[in-house]
Structure 1
Amino acid sequence: MLHKVLIDAVSSQATRLLMSERGLPPPELEKHLKALLQSALAKLDVVSRDEFETQQAVLMRTRERLEALEKRVEALEQRTPPPTT
């Protein structure tokens, strides 16, 4: 719900900037739009691309290690007879 409210707010502010009577020059308009978007993104719970890729690499290595450990456990279980009760 917060995302919709934020998007609506950004949209209305961007529309005001674009329809402004003072007619901002393109570089100034771009600067204002970037600031508006950066402010909106800062309010969202997002991570940078670098942080995402770092965590993705960590997850991939963890999965590989888990799979290797699962194979080792399976091999050990096949070598050892089950305990008798």
Structure 2
Amino acid sequence: MINPTKIEEIAKQLTDNMPQGVKSLAENLENKTKQVLQNKLAQMDFVSREEFDIQSQVLIRTREKLSQLEQKVSELEAKLSSEQE
């Protein structure tokens, strides 16, 4: 996810490099731009790297469990099949 602090740094650099007469306009623009960017990024429904890693581990464990259950079902089906013969 994009770091809001980085967005603030970029906006500040732009403001610092503007002539004094334009700085008040730039400050308003900085605040509005920051608000718009943060709102749009929040709407994009990103997940953090930490959440992604957690969900990846959950998926790995789920796949392992599914594989174990599939093997057990196969064994039970084979056992049931041999008992019916």
Tell me how many residue pairs correspond in the alignment: 59
What's the TM-score, normalizing by structure 2? Answer: 0.52
More helix by share: 2
Please name the residue that 2:27 is paired with.
none
What stretches of structure 1 of length at least 5 have no aligned partner?
1-16, 27-31
Please name the residue that 2:43 is paired with.
43
Opposite residue 16 of structure 2, the aligned amino acid is P
What's the TM-score, normalizing by structure 1? Answer: 0.52
What stretches of structure 2 of length at least 5 have no aligned partner?
1-9, 18-29
Please name the residue that 1:24 is paired with.
15
Cα deviation, residue 46, structure 1 = 1.7
Larger Rg: 2
* Moved >4 Å (runs of 4+): none
CA RMSD of aligned residues (A): 3.2
3-state DSSP of counterpart to 2:77: helix
